[in-house]
Each structure stands twice: as structure tokens, then as C-alpha cells.
Amino acid sequence: MTSSVERTSNPVAWAAFWFALAGLVLMPIPLFIGLILGGGLSIVAAILAVIALFKGLARSGKGIAPVVFAAIFIALTWAGISVGGGIVW
């Protein structure tokens, strides 16, 4: 079954967005739990964001917005971890 409608969304970008958001939400959990959960999810999100960015650029920039928000969430997660989030909070 083929469709003539072109897909305008980027599923990898949305996966990166949700992984990054989950990492940001789980990062403040203390006693290294947040470091492992939030940090691990943000690393996966960063890999997915790079893949989604290349896919989006190959399709004339379609689906780039979730990648931008994922990058912001990843940066906030890494900044929070660098000041002690997930370790001592």
C-alpha cells in the first residue's frame, strides 16, 4: 500500500524530543538514580537528535522543530547534571 501523501513529520525527531524530555524530568532524582536515568536518556536523545537533524535537512528542513527542542532539553539536562543534579539533590 503506497500513499501519494508525503510524510511531513520526522518520527526520529519526535523520539529524540520525548527521550530528551524524559531525561530532563528524571534528572533531579537524587543518589545517582537521576544521573543514570536522566543522563542515559539524554545521551540516547542526543544520538537520535543528530540522526533526525540529518534526516530533516535532507528533506528541506521538515521536522526540525522537535530536534531544536530536544537539543534544548539535552543541554538543560547536562547543565543540571554538571551542577550536581541526580547526584546530591
In a domain, 89, yes or no: no
CA distance 57 to 77: 25
| Domain assignment of residue 31, given as a range | 24-82
In a domain, 46, yes or no: yes
pTM attached to this predicted model: 0.85
In a domain, 17, yes or no: no
**In sequence order, which ranges of 1-89 are alpha helices (DSSP H)?**
11-26, 33-58, 65-82
In a domain, 75, yes or no: yes
Q: pLDDT for 66-78, tens place per residue?
A: 999 999 999 999 9
The amino acid occupying position 32 is: F
In a domain, 40, yes or no: yes
In a domain, 51, yes or no: yes
pLDDT (0 to 100) of residue 2: 58
Backbone angles phi, psi at 27, to 5 degrees: -60, -40
Q: pLDDT for 22-58, tens place per residue?
A: 999 999 888 888 889 999 999 999 999 999 999 988 8
Structural domain total, the chain: 1
In a domain, 88, yes or no: no
